[in-house]
Structure 1
């Protein structure tokens, strides 16, 4: 089941879509829709972390250090996504969190494609 990354990729793609949907709904003033989408996103956090942990357990022997860094970056991405949404709802500034989210997401995606079971777009 975890020989490939398909389930993990599907869960984080859906998670990113839900994140932007919850953010947009909040910005449009649709509090109820935003709250429902945010709750569904939290369920997908569990899927993302669960499938990522399973991939880490099954494949970290190939390159334990980089898989560990990717796992930590993935946890940071989930944390920054949650912090952006919560701080946005509270009306607090989120500029720094957005920057950290983008950097962590790009680092996670890069490592995901670069590591042995990822797609090798980078040669």
Structure 2
């Protein structure tokens, strides 16, 4: 089942969509709907971690150091999702967390395109 990255990519793609939906619901003042979407997003955090861990344990022999860094960056992104949503709902500043989110996303995309298990559009 985890010879490919399909389940993992699907879970993080849905999580990214849910993240922006939750932000949009907050901006439109629909707090009850935002809470529901945020709780659903938290379920997807667990699915992302589960599918990522299964992929890591199955394929870590390829390049364990870089896959470990990619796993840590993935946890970093999940933390930034949560910090941005929680601080936004409290009305606090989120600029530093957005910067960290962008940096972690760039690290993940670079490693995802560079490592053997990912797809290689430039090779």
The answer to whether TM tops 0.5 is yes
In the alignment, structure 1 segments of 5+ residues that lack a partner are: none
| C-alpha displacement of 1:122 | 3.5
| C-alpha displacement of 1:113 | 2.0
SS of 1:19's equivalent in the other structure is helix
1:106 lines up with 2:106 in the alignment:
yes
Distance in structure 2 (CA, Å) of the matches to 1:93 and 1:79? 16
SS of 1:117's equivalent in the other structure is coil
**TM-score, with structure 2 as normaliser:** 0.97
| C-alpha displacement of 1:41 | 0.2
In the alignment, structure 2 segments of 5+ residues that lack a partner are: none
Residues 73 and 107 in structure 1, CA contact (< 8 A), matched pair in contact too: yes
Aligned pairs for 1:1-80 (under 5 A) are 1-80=1-80
* Aligned residue-pair number: 123
| C-alpha displacement of 1:66 | 0.4
Distance in structure 2 (CA, Å) of the matches to 1:49 and 1:113? 19
**TM-score, with structure 1 as normaliser:** 0.97
Deviations for 1:28-52, whole angstroms, at most 9, x for unmatched residues? 1000110000000000000001101
Q: CA RMSD in A?
A: 0.7
Deviations for 1:73-102, whole angstroms, at most 9, x for unmatched residues? 000000000000000001110001001001
Deviations for 1:88-119, whole angstroms, at most 9, x for unmatched residues? 00111000100100110121122112111100
Residue matched to 1:120: 120
